[in-house]
Structure 1
Amino acid sequence: MDFFETDKLTALEAKEKAQWIAFAPVVFQTTRILRDSGILQFVESNQGSTFQAIVEKVGLPLYGTRVLVEAALGIGLLTCKEERYYTTKTATFILHDTLTRVNMDFIQDVCYQGMFYLEDSIKTGKPEGLKVFGQWPTIYEGLSKLPPQVQKSWFAFDHYYSDTAFPDVLALIFANKPKRLLDIGGNTGKWALQCLEYDANVEVTIMDLPGQVEMAKEQITKRGFGNRIRFFETNLLDETLPFPKGFDAIWMSQFLDCFSDEEIKSILRRCREALQPGGAVYILEPFWNRQRFQASAFALQQTSLYFTAMANGNSQMYHAGNFIGYVKEAGFTVTEQKDLIGVSHTLLTCKPI
């Protein structure tokens, strides 16, 4: 990946980009309002609309509509010819691209207010922005208590990235026919459910914080899997708490990016103790330097700042080289690395040395 090896912009392009950065919060909020107010939808359905028609349709004050529409021209969401308005390709993605919508909703509902405290988090190594929602040490303790819209956008973001990868990796995990699988950071239980449905003989244990385990129980116990699904509540940051043992496979999806360098190594060392001889740890992660497109790398790099300001203050979307180094320090070797899974993921198969 050579996206970041050279400066490709001319001086004029660089100055233009600098203005985009300077006005980025304004551009974001304006675009969100244009989307949510119905202005973009109306123009898309009525190409060549007059300004008066837009005002009459969306029901916003004339002044407010005017400043939004004029800003949309500069942002590149609308064009205007002979006093008639048309949507652009960028507007089409804002309106219809699931990835773009999920990212925008996550930034608006989960990150926007707390990002004001990003500089404090950089200095302290703590999620200083999380206080806009509550007084928890990390967002994970408070996840089940977040306001409904915030929780909805958080899970939509998390699930969108991981869910697209699940179908591609099920066959890889079950090629070795594991009988007992430990799902660390099982969240709402989506992966556990897919495992239980994929292989009628597997027994899955979800290990997570009490709040997340409770949410997973609500989703899974009513599905009738009986003793094939188990739950184990723990705090993974407490190294004195043991992991359950005797597993053929341990699964972690978009989980270790929630921890610092040293915490990752600590969790992996305890994974070694939980494995049966011949077992493997499977790690599904989006590494920013293993992306096909620069936009994907950009999104992951910026998501790292969510972890800084909102989640825990000390984790990120990792560079694969750094991350694999932690895996080796914890006593594992990567026996297989499969890139470009789903939207942005890499699957690491790790076995004890």
Structure 2
Amino acid sequence: MNGKPMHFADIERSAIEAQYEAQRIAFAPVVFQCVRVAKKRGLLDALAGAGEAGLDAPALASAGELSCYAVGVLMETALSAGVVSRSEGRWVLSKVGHFVATDPLFRINADFVQDVCYLGLADLEASLVEEKPLGLKALGEWKTIYEGLSTLPEPAKTSWFNFDHYYSDSAFPAILPRVFASSPRTIMDIGANTGKFSRLCLLRDPEVRQTLLDLPIQLAVARGTLAEAEVLDRATLHAIDLLDESAPFPAGQDVIWMSQFLCCFSEAKILSILKRARAALSEGGRVLVLDTFWDRQSHETAAYCLINTSPYFTALASGNSKMYESQAFIDSAREAGLRLADIRDGIGLSHSLLSFVAA
């Protein structure tokens, strides 16, 4: 296993230090909003440009088109979070602040939390009890978020797709040689989303044929993606409600591909999907599952981000899914009649590829 066990709590702390950490949790939403606004209003960019000399409150007020009072509120909270320091009345960006101001990973995650998750998470407790995404009503009237992805209100729509693609796009180029290692003639993309992966496959091999499975509203987007790339003639768009366990998958597939997909379902539904995938495999075919497992990460930063994405799945996405440990998929695959052939870690930002064959 490439990833190492995560030990978030294995830290020696005094009682005073532990109490401080507890209060950081209590005020975390406040800190998030203040730092987010400071970044959005350009205060952190201004400090990044000022370097070690820093800026005083009037200069920051001018940069952010805010009052000195507003700057004080934002900067003092940023100070408490270690985002800035203060020297002789001037504010200076810290190393943490540098990542907040410049790291695209922070921007992607923070926009996702603010625009997609923040309001809906108020209904987390009720969602956990009922195992339904009761916070989704903050965005729209759907049973799951997947039914409304292409019609999400802005800025939630942009932030959702930026979040999804930022993680998946980093893995696709590295993974294509493994997808084509067995020279497949047929590939099925389950949960095809916008069709970006299918487009890559069809462009890579002019002989391959692709089947895309998803809800009709998502396939409409994928159709446009493939048509623009002039590869639609080798694609079959198969509309399906994947929650319907009686709906079979088209048979004769050399490769069945699922990327950041199974985590969108409960373990019972994962088993159903894998059983139907097993039935759709051609002789010698493979099921390839690309996903982000928090237990297979080399760094706690990645594991932290993944673990704390799970409440989004509960409150807004489906009500009963999460970011799983890898063994959950492996066990479900075994029960579905599939055997784990290979695991590859360290793909893209935080992905692992599970390769299964018929048992």
Q: TM-score, normalised by structure 2?
A: 0.96
For residue 60 of structure 1, what is the aligned residue in structure 2? Answer: 66
For residue 26 of structure 2, what is the aligned residue in structure 1? Answer: 22
For residue 193 of structure 2, what is the aligned residue in structure 1? Answer: 187
CA positional deviation for 1:74: 1.1
For residue 104 of structure 1, what is the aligned residue in structure 2? Answer: 110
Whether 2:287 is the aligned partner of 1:311: answer: no
Whether 2:8 is the aligned partner of 1:13: answer: no
Provide the C-alpha distance between the structure 2 equivalents of 1:53 and 1:300, rounded to a whole number of angstroms: 38
Provide the C-alpha distance between the structure 2 equivalents of 1:57 and 1:99, rounded to a whole number of angstroms: 24
For residue 36 of structure 1, what is the aligned residue in structure 2? Answer: 40
Provide the C-alpha distance between the structure 1 equivalents of 2:265 and 2:232, rounded to a whole number of angstroms: 32
RMSD: 1.2
Counterpart of 2:12, as a letter, is L
Deviations 1:149-205 (A, max 9, x none): 101100111111111111111001101010010000010111111111222211111
Deviations 1:53-82 (A, max 9, x none): 111232112221211112111111111111
Counterpart of 1:231, as a letter, is L
Provide the C-alpha distance between the structure 1 equivalents of 2:347 and 2:215, rounded to a whole number of angstroms: 27
Whether 2:282 is the aligned partner of 1:279: answer: no
Whether 2:264 is the aligned partner of 1:258: answer: yes
**How does 1:1-150 map onto structure 2 within 5 Å?**
1-4=4-7, 7-11=10-14, 12-47=16-51, 48-150=54-156
Provide the C-alpha distance between the structure 2 equivalents of 1:226 and 1:121, rounded to a whole number of angstroms: 40
Counterpart of 1:25, as a letter, is P
Deviations 1:14-43 (A, max 9, x none): 222111101000010001000000111112
Deviations 1:124-152 (A, max 9, x none): 00001001112211100111221031011
For residue 210 of structure 2, what is the aligned residue in structure 1? Answer: 204
CA positional deviation for 1:220: 1.4
Counterpart of 2:225, as a letter, is Q
Shift in alpha-carbon separation, 1:275–1:2, aligned structure 2, 3 A: closer
Counterpart of 1:292, as a letter, is S
Aligned length: 353
Q: Tell me the secondary structure at the aligned position of residue 343 of structure 1.
A: coil
Shift in alpha-carbon separation, 1:2–1:238, aligned structure 2, 3 A: closer
**How does 1:227-306 map onto structure 2 within 5 Å?**
227-306=233-312
Are the equivalent residues in 1 in contact too, given 2:31–2:81 (CA < 8 A)?
yes
Shift in alpha-carbon separation, 1:52–1:214, aligned structure 2, 3 A: same
Q: Which moved more, 1:57-66 or 1:339-348?
A: 57-66
Q: Tell me the secondary structure at the aligned position of residue 239 of structure 1.
A: coil
Unaligned runs of 5+ in 2: none
Counterpart of 1:205, as a letter, is T
Provide the C-alpha distance between the structure 2 equivalents of 1:118 and 1:5, rounded to a whole number of angstroms: 23
Q: Tell me the secondary structure at the aligned position of residue 210 of structure 2.
A: strand
CA positional deviation for 1:315: 0.5
Shift in alpha-carbon separation, 1:186–1:289, aligned structure 2, 3 A: same
Counterpart of 2:170, as a letter, is T
Provide the C-alpha distance between the structure 2 equivalents of 1:222 and 1:57, rounded to a whole number of angstroms: 42
Shift in alpha-carbon separation, 1:131–1:5, aligned structure 2, 3 A: closer
Identity score, percent? 45
Provide the C-alpha distance between the structure 2 equivalents of 1:148 and 1:274, rounded to a whole number of angstroms: 38
Runs of 4+ in 1 over 4 A off after TM superposition: none
CA positional deviation for 1:226: 4.3
CA positional deviation for 1:84: 1.5
Structure with the bigger RCO (C-alpha within 8 Å, sep 6+) is: 2
Equivalent residue for 1:155, pick from 153, 161, 184 = 161
CA positional deviation for 1:5: 7.7
CA positional deviation for 1:6: 5.6
